[in-house]
Each structure stands twice: as C-alpha cells, then as structure tokens.
Amino acid sequence: MSIPRPADLAPPRRLRERDDRQAPSPRFSYAKVSASWLDIDKGTLEREDKSSRDQGARDALPHPYASKEGAKAAADAMGDEWGRFTGQGLFQKVGDPSAVAEALVKCTGFGTPIDETEWEAVTVTHDIIPDAGWTTTIETQVKS
C-alpha cells in the first residue's frame, strides 16, 4: 500500500492574473547547443553539438573543455536541460493553506500560451509577516 503525496490529494491551484507579482514566462528554446574543446594535435578549437527537434537559436557554452568527450557530455547535458524546462513563473498571493509543492497550477487571464500550459508548483513558501499578514509564494515550471 502506498501513501499518497500531498500534491496528489490537492486540487489544482487556480492562479489569476491579479494574484501574481511576476507573470510566468515561456523560456527561449534552443535548436542546438554547442560546446568547444581544444584539439591539441591540430591546435584548434573544435565543437560538439547537441541538436533538438525544436526550431530556435543556438546556445554556445562559454568555456572550452579538455576533451571531445567532455564537450559532448556538456552539450548533451545542457541540451537536455533546455528541453526539460520551457517555462517558469513566480506568484505571490494572499495566504493559501492548501497550496503544496508538486501540485498542478492552473493559470487564467495571462493569455492563450500561458493559460493553456500545464504548470506544476516547484516550491511553495508560506510567510507570516506581523504587520502585513500571511502570504503564499508559489514558484512554478512547465509540467514535465
């Protein structure tokens, strides 16, 4: 018998445009990530690429690696990370005791691309401020 996580029991959090301090923003997508490495035999910088199915710009990692394998591993890791995280957001609202991490978040009033995206609460922070009251801060990312 498995014990359900709090996020599995919680209904999706509904966040409206007026609830946020900062709106969620889709992240820029990259079609190719490249990492360079120093070829000692030729005395030149060579490049290893990681391509995705998406269309977009190219991201080049800033520092050269010692070997071809190191550059390939770095390009693969960064390409995978860019593929996983395509959006993030931060909401601050009046205290909400039912908000928990890993729960689904439904955005409304931000426009079609954001409203139609499946968001997930990554971090939920509850703050009690003596003079201001209770606030809940929800950090979100696109559900993977």
The listed CATH number (3.30.110, 2.20.28, 2.40.30, 2.30.42) that belongs to domain 6-27+86-142: 2.40.30
pLDDT of residue 142: 82
Residue 84 has pLDDT above 80, yes or no: no
Q: Exposed, middle or buried: residue 29 (CB in 10 Å: 0-12, 13-18, 19+)? A: middle
Share of the chain above pLDDT 90, in %: 18
What does the domain layout of the chain look like in residue ranges? 6-27+86-142, 30-84
Helix (H, G, I), strand (E, B) or coil at 10: coil
pLDDT of residue 15: 61
Residue-wise pLDDT for 31-75, tens only, equals 788 999 999 999 899 999 887 766 667 788 889 999 999 999 998
Residue 5 has pLDDT above 70, yes or no: no
pLDDT of residue 112: 73
pLDDT of residue 19: 56
Place of tokens 């959006």: 87
Torsion sign across C-alpha atoms 71, 87, 139, 103: negative
- Token pair for 47: 């490049």
Residue 78 has pLDDT above 60, yes or no: yes
